[in-house]
Amino acid sequence: MSVNFRVQLYCLLLMLSALKGEGRYLQENEVTAEGLFSLLNSEVKRESSTDFIYRRPLRCLDMLSVEGQFIFSADRPQLNCAAYFIAEPGEVISVEFSAVDIDCRRGDFLKVFDGWFLKGEKFPSNEDHPLPLPERYVDYCDTGMPRRVVRSSQNVAMIFFRVHSPESGFTITVRKLINPFPCNIISQTREGSFTMVIPHQRTNCSFSIIYPVEIQIEELSLGRLGSNDAPVKRSVPGCGGTGDFVELLGGNGVDTAKMFPVADICYSLKGPAQLKVGCDNAVMRLVSSGKFINRVTFQYRPLDHHELQKLKGNDVEDFCFIE
């Protein structure tokens, strides 16, 4: 038999055997065109979208990682309340106020902060955030505020609020929006992987992991992508804090400006390079001059108790422990 004829015969046999099994399955289920195209049915979409607005009461201290409506209603004066929002690394958060019933003149307030505040420290730091600090606050009580929708610059945001009267309250609607070039991220999980890209922007981006972790850098691409380019020769050891480089920071706060540099790399590399950081917070920070496209791919996993104890035993320092 010729090759062509054999190929055609095999195809025919394959189709027949597929139809023998799958065809019967399809027939028994009576899949119709109407069912197949129900995804495009606007009625179904409306029904599904209205059913899926998640609602629940907002607590005085709360953390939200879902979209939905959150209603705060004070049963007694609540003077020190905060709600943290966190989304996926490639998302930003939109907060919309509605049904706000607070007495600004009495000292009630409701403020959105573009980032997180923790133990007196803020993330992203002043130098890494695109806005000056006063503009990172949006106060509902500000008479000049025309809109009630506020969008964050990164995947985290928070609100501070205080109400004196038990009848006070408000509703916020939280949505997540796609951010195609995420910069300044806090990881929701203690393990995962991420690729951070800074495309021709003079900016510094941080990926913060609030757990003791082992970080493995899979690939780092700094500067020009041409393989013929010779690596930059530096007269001083290390990266010198200039140009394009990636640095790994460790510390017990969230402000990257107050963390200790653990390592820095200013040359492209391929292949896994591992580092254990036994700090409360480990940050991968990519510093970019804006002249090139810089990219770093890494993954991280939590350190177990045994590894943490070993790190503490080996290290002479009194703060977080690095290996």
Partner 1 sequence: MKLNFLVSTVVMLVALLPRYECRAIESQGAVQQDPGPQSDLQQQSLPFLVRLGEEYFIRLGNANSPLSTPNMSPDAPSATISRALQLHLTQRLLQGKVGNISRLVSSYASQLDDSTERGKRSEEPPISLDLTFHLLREVLEMARAEQLAQQAHSNRKMMEIFGK
CB of 252 to partner 1, least distance (A): 6
Write the interaction track for partner 1 spanning residues 120-139; mark x where CB under 8 A is met and - where it is not.
Answer: x-x---x---xx-xxxxxxx
| Cα(201)–Cα(81) distance, integer angstroms | 37
Closer residue to partner 1 in complex, CB, 6/56 = 56
Residue 197 contacts partner 1 per CB under 8 A = no
Q: Which of 73, 103, 109, 164 binds partner 1 (CB under 8 A)?
A: 109
Closer residue to partner 1 in complex, CB, 223/255 = 255
Contact range with partner 1 by CB under 8 A, out of 2-10, 14-22, 182-190, 287-295: 182-190
Residue in the block written with tokens 């690596």:
231
| Cα(17)–Cα(6) distance, integer angstroms | 16
Q: Which of 89, 153, 294, 296 binds partner 1 (CB under 8 A)?
A: 153
Are 264 and 310 in contact by the 8 Å Cβ rule? The answer is no
Residue 105 identity (one-letter amino acid)? R
CB of 274 to partner 1, least distance (A): 8
Q: Which of 70, 89, 140, 154 binds partner 1 (CB under 8 A)?
A: 154
Q: Which residues, 15 to 34, sit near partner 1 by CB under 8 A?
A: none
Closer residue to partner 1 in complex, CB, 6/200 = 200
Burial of 12 (0-12, 13-18, 19+ CB in 10 A): exposed
Q: Which of 194, 219, 273, 307 binds partner 1 (CB under 8 A)?
A: 273
Q: Which of 188, 195, 289, 297 binds partner 1 (CB under 8 A)?
A: 188
Residue 162 contacts partner 1 per CB under 8 A = yes
Residue 98 contacts partner 1 per CB under 8 A = no
Write the interaction track for partner 1 spanning residues 41-80; mark x where CB under 8 A is met and - where it is not.
Answer: ---x--xx--xx-x-----xxxxxxx-x----------xx
Contact range with partner 1 by CB under 8 A, out of 2-10, 11-19, 36-44, 282-290: 36-44
Could you tell me the two tokens for 282? 């480990």
